Structure 1
């Protein structure tokens, strides 16, 4: 069995199990306790270091009624590997333990689209999916997941992958969460970032994948995970999604008080 070791423990989040548990707990404590859990089809969650965006991600994880199976889509920041990389077997390890890849679910996705490539290299140093796992490990005794690292350069590729995800999820007859890992605008000032963030958020809230793809290009929004988010929206709509809720929106400036160069973060629940 192939085991992917943690790539960003000690940088994006604490490396020791005890400190990581405390760090994740502090992210949850930064939000009001949800009165009730909400079912979801898909979601957008951020992926910066937990010290910056963890409280935003935790706002989603605390609110959501979490299943035991997930398809997690992330961008490819490293430029390494296949442009639509899946892992079909093995496990991923964090300081909190190991999480198994859902091989039957991965194989079903591979069988439903010609685009996906089984490629560990694309995932080996990628942080944006890895940082989701400690939240799930904190809340769930056990779960499985399929990792997808996407740099698909065409909207049509997102359509094919999104449709394949929807078909596979629908055929399983059980809840499977579809998570898109993405930060929003990068390294402009607070005013510009809030405006650009809202443009992207509005497209997601409208359940408009084509609109998101368009405004990211036309408005020069440096949303690193717009490809995973577009793909998630396509899948969620095909699965019957009719609404989206912005749970939390913040920037790195809210943490370090440097508002001249900020990164935007949002947690959005699709149902």
Structure 2
């Protein structure tokens, strides 16, 4: 493997490399990959308009094709941050406009490309904000295949498209999880529930490996929800964790929430080690994992 800067006459940014990551990684067989530290792109998904695609300018790699806003990662930069940064630079995506749903990684050993699939939380119009785009457009999902696609995106698109209908939620039986660890939780049930919420919040931000949820891709960022009861009632929501209070039976509230989620088309995973509750949840179509599944990931 070698690292090469763009040579005169090669597709490149007109103003030249602006970061140490702006370089070609060259495999032993001569295949070249853009981005010394890897690369990432953003697939922004708008429920009403489709996906945001970039028509690549002629001097770029595979110029004239349609692909994702994206590019080379900076040294030490995470793919999630890099994909959003590149989309901001190339398409004017506003801060906070998208929420990550999952990532997919193409890895050839010497180089990796990460696709970050994110839902539009605050609708926006893309703006060509650097010279790498001929045009930017919201393309209905059913129309993407009709475009001349960048070969890498064309290969990844069938898998990515198949995942767009999947919206995972992890529903946590908070009392069961808290009660599974003998750490003195009974002296302050509300405090123990808040500590669990905060740990789950950190997990929500970090995401879960795709295989933990039985999904394709590399890493998912499901929505987490906790159901609390008894002395833990009144626990506040967190940014990435919803907290629901059971007025009566916690089990009944969990089943009600699960049934509503499955009915709305969500991919719901419930966390509990209560056998009777497991049976009730499976009967409404939820997947069920034990408390150890969650605790191992929190640790």
TM-score (normalizing by structure 1) = 0.27
Q: Which structure shows the higher strand fraction?
A: 2
More helix by share: 1
Name the TM-score, length of structure 2 as normaliser. 0.25
* Larger RCO, structures 1/2 (Cα 8 Å, 6+ apart): 1
Computing the radius of gyration from Cα coordinates, the structure with the larger value is: 2
